[in-house]
Structures are given as C-alpha cells and as structure tokens.
Amino acid sequence: MSTQVGRIPASGRLRELGPINWVVAKLGARTVRAPQMHLVTTLGQHKRLFWMWLPYSLALLRGRLPIADTELVILRVAHLRACEYELQHHRWMARRRGLDAHKQQAIFAWPDSADELTDRQQALLDATDEFVKTRSISAPVWQRLSAHLDRRQLIEFCMLAGQYDGLAATMAALDIPLDYQDQE
C-alpha cells in the first residue's frame, strides 16, 4: 500500500476545509466507499474556487447527455490521460450506468474494438480522441457526432471532455493520491 501524500497534502481536517467542505468531503468519501476522497480534500482547501467548480462538475455529470455517454467520455479521457484517479472512480460508476467490464475494455481498446461498439459510441470516442489530442474536432468527426447529438448535447460534450481533461491535468500536477491505494 502506498502512502502517497501529494504536492498539496489532502487534508481531511475541519480547520483546512471549513465546515461545509469538511461535510462534503465526508459525504463524498462515504458515497465512493473510500477512507478519504482526496480530490475533495485537496481542492476543498481553496474554498471559493471549490464551490464554483463543484456545481459545474455535478451539472456535467447529470446533464443532457445520457449518463452512459457521459461515463464513456470520462473513461476515454481518463484512459488517454492515464489518470488512474478518474479511472478508479468512473469504472464502477460506468458499470452502474450500463457499461460493463467488457464494454469498458472496448472503450479502452478503441479504435481496435469498433465491432463491439454502437455507431453512437464510436462517434463519441472519435470526437473524444480528437478533442483531447488536438484540442479541436475535425469537420468529418463533428458531422458524425452531430448525427447523434443535438446542439445542447454537442456543447455539453465539449465542456465534459474539456472538464475531465483539465481535471486529469490538475490531479497529475497536484499529484493527488488515489482513494483506493490497494488497487494501484
């Protein structure tokens, strides 16, 4: 078991988080069945910024995209960015939303797994890959994605991919410890 600390120690202490963030951290840890939710106990130390980020993040998780699509995009971003923290949390969330272990393997193996994925899933994966790798989406991939998503969903897709790409970068830069150390 690792005893990783992180560049900003993930403090679960009331003094550093404040009472509201401390409660959010405790509830978050209970929800994910972890001793501590290090993302919350790290980001929660910047109280104002945390309270601006949290509602936005939650809105993207429960937005206009079907939840299975949301989890597919998050898993792909986490895979591309090698973000084990995101993968640990979203693998089990994705299973609960209809993306079983076999489907998740197909997401990680993309594009070699095209025959195991729907046209919609393939369009989402193509767009996610381009967004993360090039910071844009080419006209042909956009057209393909547009066949499956309406205008609001297209906007949300970009915001979702950007949010989780930025979150993966933030977690890497801050060296946020994993919540489930024994699964490294």
pLDDT tens-digit map of 64-84: 999 999 999 999 999 999 999
Residue 91 CA: distances (Å) to CA of 13, 84, 94, 97, 143 = 28, 10, 5, 10, 29
The C-alpha angle 83, 86, 88, rounded to 5 degrees, equals 105
pLDDT at 182: 62
User: What residue segments make up the domains of the chain, in order of their start?
Assistant: 19-61, 64-173
pLDDT at 78: 97
Q: pTM value?
A: 0.90
> What CATH superfamily is the domain 64-173?
AhpD-like (1.20.1290.10)
Distance CA 27, CA 54 (A): 14
pLDDT at 140: 98
Cβ-based burial of 54 (10 A; exposed 0-12, middle 13-18, buried ≥19):
middle
Could you report the average pLDDT of every consecutive run of 10 residues in the chain (184 residues)? 65 81 87 86 92 94 95 97 94 92 96 92 98 97 98 98 97 91 58
pLDDT at 1: 36
